[in-house]
Amino acid sequence: MGWTGKHTLLIHKKSGSFFVLGELFTSLDLPFDEPATSHCGSCSACIDICPTQAIVEPYMLDARRCIAYLTIEYKGIIAEELRAGIGNRIFGCDDCQLICPWNSFAKTASIPDFNPRHGLDNISLLDIWQWDGATFLANTEGSPIRRTGYQSFKRNIAIGLGNAPYSKEIVDQLNKGKSLHDEIVNVHIDWAIEQQLNQL
């Protein structure tokens, strides 16, 4: 099918790493194909671009540092030393895939469910920050974004706002949000406010 890239993802020569794996069970006798050989060569683009240095060496990922894991799967307090690297990413990252030369061969999926949705492309972090739980559910209907959960989503936005250029409105809205969220989110709100004020 492909080879494991230095970012630890499967790479196919014609599709890069942007594809979904499926499985088919059959009783038919099918011929075996030859295992794919690696074609990463001396390229280290995925390692070099990772904002949190999660690819600790070729073919080894420390998921505890990976933005995709932290912003989607992890529900706790994100380590302070990783927050600046997260930047304004509130759901996943994919920098290691976007930079991979093999993904220049990737094609848009023919099945609409696998294609990006652009409904939230032009909304600001501050606008999303003001969503309540019901608005979050309404605006993420049918989207994988919902998987992160409302509180973790707000935690991620707080980090993004902390990394944004200083704005009094951001500080005011973050302060207003402190009474609306759990302790995990509030830890990140406090950090975000501090980051904003440090820019003065």
DSSP characters over 148-171: G-HHHHHHHHHHHHHTSPP-HHHH
The contacts of residue 113 (CB under 8 Å, 6+ apart) are none
For residues 42-60, average pLDDT? 98
DSSP letters along 105-153, please?
Answer: G----SSGGGS---TTTT--HHHHHT--HHHHHHHTTTSGGGGG-HHHH
Give 36: exposed, middle or buried? Use CB within 10 Å, 0-12, 13-18, 19+.
middle
Distance set, CA 81 to CA 53, 84, 85, 86, 182 (Å): 11, 7, 8, 10, 21
Please report, for residues 44, 66, 75, 130, the alpha-carbon distance to residue 58 in angstroms, rounded to integers and kept in the order given.
8, 15, 27, 40
User: Cα–Cα distance between 5 and 8 in angstroms, integer?
Assistant: 5
**How much is the pTM?**
0.91
- Give the tens place of pLDDT for each residue, 99-108: 999 999 888 8
What pLDDT is attached to residue 105? 83
Q: Using one digit for the tens of pLDDT, what is the confidence trace for 125-168? A: 999 999 999 999 999 998 899 999 999 999 999 999 999 999 99
- Dist. CA 145–CA 122, nearest whole Å: 16
Mean per-residue pLDDT, 60-66 = 98
